[in-house]
Amino acid sequence: MKINFIIGTADKDHHKKVLEILEKNLVNDENNNHFVLVPDRFSKSSELNFLNELNSKKRNSFGQKNLFILGLSRLSWFFLKSTPEYNKPVLSKVGREMLLLSIIKQNKKQLSLFSKKINKPGFLSDLQETISNLEVNGITFNNFQELLHRKDVDELSKIKIHDLSIVYNAYLKIRPNLSNDTKKILDLIAFLHKNNVLKNSYIYFDGFTEFNNLELRLIKEILIQAKEVNISLILDDERPKKTDHLFELNKKVYLNLSRFTEKFGGSIKIIKNLDARINENLMGLNEIFLHSDIHNNKEKIEKDRIKIISSANPYNELRFVASQIRNLIVNAPEKYRYKDFLILAKSYVNYSNIIQPIFKEVNVPYFYDSQKSMDNHPLYEFLCSLYDIYKYHYRSKDIFRLLKTEIIIPKVNGNFMEINDYRDAVSVTENWVLKYGIDGNKWINNSNWEYAVNVDFDDLSEDMQDVIKKVRIIHLFIKNTIKLLFSDLEKSSFCNNAVEILYNFLLNNGILQRFAEMKLKTDLTLVERDQYDQIWNHFVDLLDEYVTIFKNESFSIDQFMSIIIKGLSSSKYLQIPPALDQVMISTTKNVQLNNNYKFVFIIGMTSDSIPQKIEKSDFLDDDENRLLNNEKIENIQNNLLSDLVNKEYLENYLSFLVPKENLVLSYPRFTYSGEENEPSLYINKLKDLFNIPIVSYDDKPIYSENVSYYLGSKEYTLSNLIKVLQQFRNDNFVDNDGHLSNGWSAVLNYFKNYLQINNDPKIINILNSLNYRNVPQKLNTVIADKLYGNDLNLSISKLETFYQNQYEYFLKYGLKLKSRDEFELSLSDTGQYFHNLLDKFVKSLKFSNLNLKDFTENDIENKINEISDSLIKLPKYQVLDDSERMIYLKERLNKIVKKIIIKTQEQQSITKTKILDTEIEFGFNDQTLKFNLGDGKEINIRGIIDRLDKLESEGHNIYNLVDYKSSKHIINYSKIYYGLSMQLITYLDAINQKINKEDFITGAFFLHLKDKIFTFSDLSKKLLSNFDLSSLTDNLNKQLLKEYSFDGLLINNDREDFKKLDLSITDGGNSSIYPFGFTKNGKLTKNSKVITEKEFNLLLKHNRDLIINAGKQILSGNNKLNPYKINNQTGLDNSIYKSIMQFDAMLPENNYHVLPASIDNIFKQIEDE
């Protein structure tokens, strides 16, 4: 028995020494086997490196004869591949969780703690991790039993240990029939113990930075047989030192194996004084970790060898790293290759999604040493949405998630649909479902969907028939196929039957055909194509594991789907080995010192990342682990928090010592969400001890500065050039003093010269984008004529839209763009419902020759409910009867209408005006407001006036018009002037054309439709004073009546009948209905919203000018992007077209049409015009 310890810190070349010993032994003993054992994840690259190094020294003869370079799992295969043990079913991590779940269910009555936690998220995962640790540490059932009888163990720990012992014991009994990575090592140890297969062999452990307890047991078994064992340990000295916290785990390995060797009388040799692996100018890095006081070693750091970079965010940070690698390769091709570069990070959470686009842009080949999760594959999304359909009972959003995975598709006439036809059918159906509110039971109940009301299918247009056919295909697919699957699963008594049902369902619905078609996509890489085979095989393996473990147990859809989904989400695709010349991107956890990386970038070095906060996933706490491992003196790790802290410290140490020549540390100053990051304490330590400056890189090149940081591939350089030229253009928009630096001018000239030789549409478009201005082009007359025709028929809202923002008018009424219909009650629909309800109520009174004053409150409510019941039969209002929430909304709307009618009834008791009519149309079958625009073109204004009130007087009538509003509206003359509020004036103009000459219009008003309820805070001191309790109701009613008063304008015709509008005003005071009042002298108050007849005529003329002006501009093709702005209110506030307009007030070409909030004398201004 002989063991050689190769000891040295991470800056020493351990691999070189192992290689020297190997070469020497191969020369002296070529006939016996030589096993080089390396970490599993590096076995392929290590084998290649060893053979290349040996062959370079002309040692070809042993190449494949007696030299074996293997990982430990491959070593198991080497000796056990023909044994029954090795070929037993292998359980994945999720499979082991399934097994533990089954064990807990079978022993539920004995498990007081675990039976309660079985459904807690993460419980099975933590338990599986604990069981795995127990296996590795060699804990037995007897160890648990000893603890349960100890008096120094608290009761809570005993309960946990009791449950754990039962589960672990059951697991150990099942384990011989199954296999996993740990079991394979245990089987190898058992095999070596019985078979002397390593006699006279030479063993070399190379590249291990640490060993666990199970690996230590394997080393001991090897040590007993082998002729010589060589083991490389990252260690400063075999003797105790202050740095034991860094090398504690490896020191334990050394001491444990030394004692073991001495026990068997073997020889021990310590090999030190290794050659340096890294540049002497980086030696100071080693001192940071080994010594607390390193001021005397500052000369061991050359500042140019270490750089610290800060960037604005993770994207800029990685972009900088990629560009620097590219620059170093381009500028020194004889010195660097891509394989000389390594990028490390503690975690790639902030980087994984940007690696591919950044390295593609910079044109740098890379290998991302991270197994990609399967949770982004369509099959995973299919299973998740399938389970959600079952769990949430056919929610439409879950159904369309499933359909869009395209994993299974319907058959038409016995054949699967063409994929483009299927996508079109899904899209059409989604619009249909949103429009008609299809959800839940409506997908699967026996009644068919109503595609057309009172219309035969043959009488529909061809387009509508096509839509219905597509919708029917998707509907029946869900109703017949998916529903049947769930029905069959629910009928399954046992797990194996259910698994068979799901498997056959997928096969029968063409999943393998779909996978074959998906793999043929031209934009997929070979790796992406291979992923379809990998995930299907893994899915089948999961089903097999499920059947193996739960076989004849009763079946639960929830348990089954949860386990399978979790199994895929936690699984990774197998990696394809890297090419010969690629940048390696890896984690600090996977550091290998054997590779000759000249340049290492450690990214993401923030204070909360490196060093990392340690969190244990072990089910047992430190005290419980100490108790369990107390008798295991040979164990070097006990799953304690201190073990994890030491591992973290060692991991960081090794990461810093990987590079042979240069180290770059970087961190983002901010997260993507804008939260500030602090640099790692290691960065601060380097900065302070060695005066290394932190260089800021913000990915924002400045046109007057040097270009070196921003040059790279053609795409990368062009991207930076565009940023510079945009900045240059924006700065010189105001000030022409800026100049491009010589470097950026040279870059611009390069691309100009490049385009003279090469016709590259992509680069041409990118450079032309600099001249792009977000300004719509005026429509030519041909296009304007096609869009609008010669004559315009416009509503008031369309005119107001034009004056709010011309471009929105073009999008909405020219191109007729709109959001897709959804089964919901929009604000517009709510307003229409109010209008229809009020209109039908008034018309029913007229039709029956009834008077509103004769109606009781119950009569009003019954009539409203009767009208409402008829309205909700209409398709547009069916949503109001679709759910409890919508029924409540309908009742609330009805209540508002009831209150409006009651208040109207009360108002009519103090005024002589009566409701004449509602929903009065103009401009549809008449030419009330039709204007000539010149060139044979006309504009006709049409609309519907909500209500017209009439007051009969001696020899004439006076009229008021009322416009219902669902929100509060106040007359605003500035908005009237600018065309933003044209409704009342236009309605007044229309009525003015219709009435007799001897009749007059008194005013136009807004009525806010609301359900006012007084709270205590509404009750002012004035309201609560000067009256007794008996008059409280009276006062509240008067106040409530004022809440439903009109706002608008009145026209003073100097007539006595103006005073008849509110008979309650006697000795002066304000009207409780209209916006006017009288002083005690009989004059109008200052707050009265009354205009003269002259002022009224000025408004009519100005309003007509606005109509004609808008008509001319629309037909001439004007479509400026000019949203108005008054104070903080803009024409974009409620626009649904903002994403199309891309209006940005920061752009010099995008400006609001800023309007004054008020005009001093609007009537004088109109008159002067």
Cα separation, 602 vs 989, whole angstroms: 75
Q: Which of 320-329, 979-988, 1057-1066 bottoms out in mean pLDDT, i.e. has the lowest? A: 1057-1066
Contact 185, 154 (CB under 8 A): no
Query: Considering the domain 827-1099 in this protein, what is its CATH number?
Result: 3.90.320
> Contact, 44 vs 577, CB < 8 A?
yes
What lies within 8 Å, CB to CB, of 143 at 6+ separation is 628, 631
Q: Give the rounded distance of the alpha carbon of 873 from its chain centre.
A: 40
pLDDT in tens, 236-265: 876 655 556 788 889 989 999 999 999 999
Distance CA 354, CA 364 (A): 14
Predicted local confidence at residue 112, as pLDDT = 87
Tell whether the model's pLDDT for residue 454 goes beyond 60.
no
What does the pLDDT read at residue 890?
87
Burial annotation 1043-1074 (CB, 10 A radius, 16+ → b, else e): ebbbbbbbbbeeeebbebbbeebeeeebbbbb
347-351, 357-361, 924-928, 943-947: least confidently modelled range: 924-928
* Window from 462-471, 472-481, 660-669 with minimum mean pLDDT: 462-471
pLDDT digits (tens, 9 = 90+) for 51-67: 888 877 655 544 557 89
pLDDT recorded at residue 1036: 62
The partner residues of 920 in beta bridges, in order of sequence, read 945
Is the pLDDT at 627 greater than 90? The verdict is no
Query: Please, which pLDDT band fits residue 2 given cuts at 50, 70 and 90?
Result: very high
Task: Count Cβ atoms below 10 Å from residue 225 Cβ, excluding itself.
Answer: 18
* CATH tag, 2-87+181-277: 3.40.50.300
Give the pLDDT mean for 91-95.
84
1100-1119: per-residue pLDDT in tens? 999 999 999 999 999 999 99
What is the predicted pLDDT for the residue at 195? 93
For range 964-980, the mean pLDDT: 91
Q: What is the DSSP letter of 480?
A: I
* Confidence grade of residue 292 (pLDDT, cut at 50, 70, 90): low
DSSP state at residue 293: -
> 433 and 396 in contact (C-beta within 8 Å)?
yes
pLDDT interval class at 1125 (50, 70, 90)? very high
Three-state secondary-structure class, residue 659: coil
> What is the helix (H) or strand (E) element at residue 368, kind and residue range?
strand 366-368
Q: Which range has the worst mean pLDDT, 71-85, 269-283, 1045-1059?
A: 1045-1059
Residue-level pLDDT at 702: 74
pLDDT at 769 (0 to 100): 82
Whether the predicted pLDDT of 299 surpasses 60: no
Per-residue pLDDT, 1023: 52
Please report which residue ranges of 691-776 form alpha helices under DSSP H.
714-734, 742-757, 761-768
Q: Which two tokens stand for residue 449?
A: 């969907």
Residue 868, pLDDT > 70, answer yes
Contact 909, 891 (CB under 8 A): no
User: What are the pLDDT digits (tens) for 806-848?
Assistant: 999 999 999 999 888 777 777 777 888 888 898 899 888 888 8
- Indicate the residue type of 1045: S
Amino acid, single-letter form, for residue 194:
K
User: pLDDT of 1001-1039, one tens digit each?
Assistant: 989 999 998 877 655 555 554 455 555 555 655 666 667
- What does the pLDDT read at residue 62? 46
Lowest mean pLDDT among 358-372, 701-715, 994-1008: 701-715
Mean pLDDT taken over the chain = 86
CA distances from 565 to 117, 122, 386, 463, 558 (A): 20, 14, 10, 41, 11
Confidence of residue 452 (pLDDT cuts 50, 70, 90): low
Which range of 382-391, 433-442, 453-462 scores highest in mean pLDDT? It is 382-391
Q: What number of residues does the chain have? A: 1169
Q: What is the CA radius of gyration of the chain?
A: 42
Dist CA 8 CA 250 (whole Å): 11
289: helix, coil or strand?
Answer: helix
CA-to-CA distance for 841 and 867, rounded, in angstroms?
7
Of 1003 and 570, the one with more pLDDT: 1003
Least confident of 978-987, 995-1004, 1151-1160: 1151-1160
**What does the alpha-carbon distance between residue 173 and residue 102 come to, in Å, rounded to a whole number?**
14
Choice among 317-321, 368-372, 388-392 with the minimum mean pLDDT: 368-372
The whole-angstrom distance between residue 116's C-alpha and the CA centroid of its chain comes to 34
Average pLDDT over residues 965-994: 92
Could you state, in order of their start, the residue ranges of all structural domains in the chain? 2-87+181-277, 93-177, 284-371+577-697, 374-569, 708-771, 805-820+1106-1168, 827-1099
Q: Report the pLDDT averaged over residues 868-874.
A: 86
Residue 122 is classified by DSSP as T
pLDDT at residue number 205: 96
* DSSP letter, residue 1098: H
Whether 2-87+181-277 and 284-371+577-697 share one fold: the answer is: yes
pLDDT at 770: 81
Q: Is the CATH code 3.40.50.1100 the one for domain 284-371+577-697?
A: no
Region 322-347: mean pLDDT is 91
Of 352-356, 458-462, 810-814, give the lowest mean pLDDT range.
458-462
Q: Which two tokens stand for residue 385?
A: 């949405």
Give the list of residues 6+ apart from residue 231 with CB closer than 8 angstroms, or none.
3, 4, 5, 6, 205, 208, 219, 257
DSSP code for 519 = T
Mean pLDDT of 1163-1167: 88
Q: Looking at residue 632, what is its pLDDT?
A: 55
pLDDT score for 735: 46
